[in-house]
Structure 1
């Protein structure tokens, strides 16, 4: 069979022949129909992820959609190097497979599951959003941010504030249901004041940016918050703007602020699996939040180096797996803005 294979950390994979998977006890072989490329996959392939290793060669791909020998369409969660999902077939623990709702396109499911799961777990497991509470999505113009807007509303959020740099992305967030927006442009004082006007009394912040935008958001919220004893739950999910944030100690003393992270190490495997099963049931309403661009697996090396289209995900499909779901990957625009 064929797979995408990384031979040097940080280098794009090559499409080449590999041995067939040999299932261990409790495992089954699944035919892979679609496997998405996104930052987590790149991080594993570069050896830079905080949970990853440096074993080579490796097949990238963290999750995907496949078909069992019995013909069931399933979601394949959480495979880690060196045995990833960017292969024609993979061996997976049978009890880890999750049925995909009827009528959904495998390519679309593969594109949306990672960004949606990041938002879902951050909201449900880490932010513990309650019905009627308000949410600020910091970085709402990316794939995960758009999913977070939709999922927060799905969970009964009373108000959702979308913040990001790209005006088109903010318009899209409004179309998804965001009540207010904050554009990350202009002098720092103006941006902080905009956060104060739009998000001063939010209950939960889902932060996909970190670094300076998060500093401005927290400063603006705390300076304009009507009741500083009202709990503010800040969930750190990503660091698209940078890895470090400066938090003056006084900010944490003058208000009820709690900060936690949401990632692969923040909840147990059992809780993660349960959350993913809940999310799969909600997928029909979420698929439109991420455009899928299908790419033949044989072209993985060229696609790996190509900028990702705005609001979309490359999804690798087996040879002969069908036409692209959304145009041609060779004519994509700029890398996705935050």
Structure 2
């Protein structure tokens, strides 16, 4: 099989595409023929050895994929060979075949092709649970979404809008804000040219009820300052590269709640909650929701795909098509 390989930490251009033996599924594991794999910002961090969880060298990057079951390990009774599935791993998805624990697989929602299935689960599950499970967002509330044209950000705008929340999209350019408007955002702030705190408060009156932040950096504090009293702030990642240092007196004065959210931990500790979220997302897909995929690359262009994400050149998701 072909696979991307990281043999030294650094920039994406250091990756190689190599040919290696097909993996074999062990007990409790499943072999999947990967048809498509989505690129996420943590993939960039893992290659650079800047992620919270290190990946020992050498390794195949890639965390989100869709494909077809090709083999079952000992003790696995299903799903049967030939079943379309989507899944997530820490590493290993940028390959034509991947071995994963059977519990790490999800059915592909009806209506999604393999490219969109690969781009769906991680970002949309993150968005849904950040908004609903952790953020307690409800219809009619104002939600500020940072990085609103990125992978998680665009998913959060999409899901929040479909659930009746009023979205203020925050992004780095008018072009990226247009993407968010197309996904249902009611208002937008270009935080390069406008003061985020001032504009959010002007747009929402008393301030946002909820912030979903996959970006971090300086804009996190500004968004926190733009919360109304009793508001909630959910931190889900640090695409800016800088982890915010929040003055706790802001939390005290606003009676605010700050929550962290990471989808892998929810899968481990609250599988029933994850299943309920999957069902809710499947209903939204049946109603027409689709992840925004702006660029599709073959595996030979894996470095370019990762660079698109690292340098924020793409909107929505970037996907590697393993069949090309």
Same fold (TM over 0.5): yes
Task: After TM superposition, list the pairs within 5 Å mapping 1:37-186 onto structure 2.
Answer: 37-50=39-52, 52-69=53-70, 70-77=81-88, 79-81=89-91, 84-157=92-165, 159-186=166-193
The residue number in structure 1 matching 2:6 is 6
Q: Deviations over 1:217-254 (max 9, x none)?
A: 33344xxx4xx3xx211001222345243544432222
Distance 2:191 2:116 in 1: 30
Pair 255,193 (structure 1): closer, same or farther in 2 beyond 3 Å: same
2:222 is the counterpart of 1:216: yes
Q: Which moved more, 1:277-286 or 1:28-37?
A: 277-286
Instruction: Give the secondary-structure state (helix, strand or coil) at the position aligned to 1:209.
Output: coil
Q: Deviations over 1:44-83 (max 9, x none)?
A: 2332211x22422111111200112432211122x123xx
User: Are the aligned partners of 2:66 and 2:84 in contact in 1 as well (CA < 8 Å)?
Assistant: yes
Instruction: Give the secondary-structure state (helix, strand or coil) at the position aligned to 2:266.
Output: coil
The residue number in structure 2 matching 1:335 is none
User: Are the aligned partners of 2:154 and 2:316 in contact in 1 as well (CA < 8 Å)?
Assistant: no
Q: Which runs of 5+ in 2 are unaligned?
A: 71-80
TM-score by length of 1: 0.80
- 1:314: Cα distance to partner? 3.2
2:241 is the counterpart of 1:236: no
CA RMSD in angstroms comes to 2.6
- 1:153: Cα distance to partner? 2.2
Instruction: Give the secondary-structure state (helix, strand or coil) at the position aligned to 2:100.
Output: strand
Q: Which moved more, 1:253-262 or 1:134-143?
A: 134-143
Q: Which has the higher strand share?
A: 2
Q: Deviations over 1:197-229 (max 9, x none)?
A: 1233322111223332222233344xxx4xx3x
Distance 2:316 2:185 in 1: 20
- 1:150: Cα distance to partner? 1.4
Q: Which runs of 5+ in 1 are unaligned?
A: 323-338
- 1:280: Cα distance to partner? 4.3
The residue number in structure 2 matching 1:198 is 203
Instruction: Give the secondary-structure state (helix, strand or coil) at the position aligned to 2:109.
Output: coil
Distance 1:103 1:196 in 2: 39
Of residues 17, 22, 32, the one that matches 2:34 is 32
The residue number in structure 1 matching 2:77 is none
The residue number in structure 2 matching 1:336 is none
Pair 92,280 (structure 1): closer, same or farther in 2 beyond 3 Å: farther
